[in-house]
Amino acid sequence: MADADGNQVKKPRSEDECKYDDHFEVVVRIAREAGEVIREAYKLEKRVLTKSSAADLVTETDQRVEKMIISKLKEKFPTHSFIGEESVAAGEHCNLTDNPTWIIDPIDGTTNFVHRFPYVAVCIALLVNKITEIGVVYNAIHDQMFTARREQGAFCNGEKLQVSGQEEMNQALLLVGFGIHKRRDPSAQWKNNITSLLSNPDGVHGFRSLGSAALNMCEVARGCADAYYEFGIHCWDYAASDIIVREAGGVVVDTEGGALDLMSRRVLAASSKQLAEQISPRIKHLVLERD
């Protein structure tokens, strides 16, 4: 859009585009405040507890950050609902309704946090009528603020994100999650999936893993990796990064190729529909207990 002199003029934003401006400003500010707490605790000795297994870790910082996020959001939006990782671990129900709902992971990558591996993220998503409107993933250690709003693009520290667009599996770099559920897989099917995707002549270039589902997906959104899949994660691990990948031009689907179900605990994110369709048949799909 240009004026009479040929200068570019920014198109006015529609009422729908402005609808959640206040929500977005509030959640970005809260994510940064949570990040400050995480950075302060990052280099300190930590009291580490376990949840479902010896590898399912939680720290006092996880619990403190989640309480802080929910408290601040409730103050601004008292009628909204909340799903938080540590709240669910403490016995609250994981119930997604049409009511505006904030899905929160206070520290995605708790094991990284414990070991001071610098891939640790605050993840917050807002869903309204079960549709994601806002996604925020903040890597507090590297000060990377990934954000997305429905139909308004995805950004990292204000710079627009774009997936790689890779369409060929044999040219792709994949990210994969090695979560705690792998220890409960007696068939070691996760290893077979990797072998299948590496097999020549059309195998992928290689695999990487950051230890954070959200940050793995943000790397796909940035175009630094071409796809990511994982089984056994939870809605709070990828609700925020789902919209970031999609708004960066990627696709996020169920591992079998159908529409993503946030409560199914499995996800495939890719830089193109073609790449997702090549990866899906090469992996054996696990059916897990729903969130």
Point out the catalytic residue in the list 30, 69, 107, 283.
107
- Is 30 annotated as catalytic? no
Which strand (E) or helix (H) includes residue 221?
helix 213-222
Whole-number Å distance between alpha carbons of 124 and 130: 15
- Is 104 annotated as catalytic? no
pLDDT recorded at residue 48: 74
- Is 105 annotated as catalytic? yes
- Is 107 annotated as catalytic? yes
Q: Could you report the per-residue pLDDT of 130-161, keeping only the tens digit for each?
A: 999 999 999 999 999 999 999 999 999 999 99
CB distance 229 to 271 below 8 Å: no
The single residue listed with the structure tokens 């570019």 is 8
- 53, two tokens: 């297994």
Point out the catalytic residue in the list 219, 226, 230, 237.
237
Q: Which amino acid is present at 211?
A: G
- Is 143 annotated as catalytic? no
Point out the catalytic residue in the list 62, 86, 108, 247.
108
Handedness of CA 68, 65, 180, 269 (dihedral sign): positive
Point out the catalytic residue in the list 85, 230, 242, 291.
85
pTM recorded for the entire structure: 0.91
- Is 60 annotated as catalytic? no
Beta-bridged to residue 270, according to DSSP, are 227, 251
Reply yes or no on whether the pLDDT at 9 is more than 60: no
Q: Which amino acid is present at 247?
A: E
pLDDT recorded at residue 84: 96
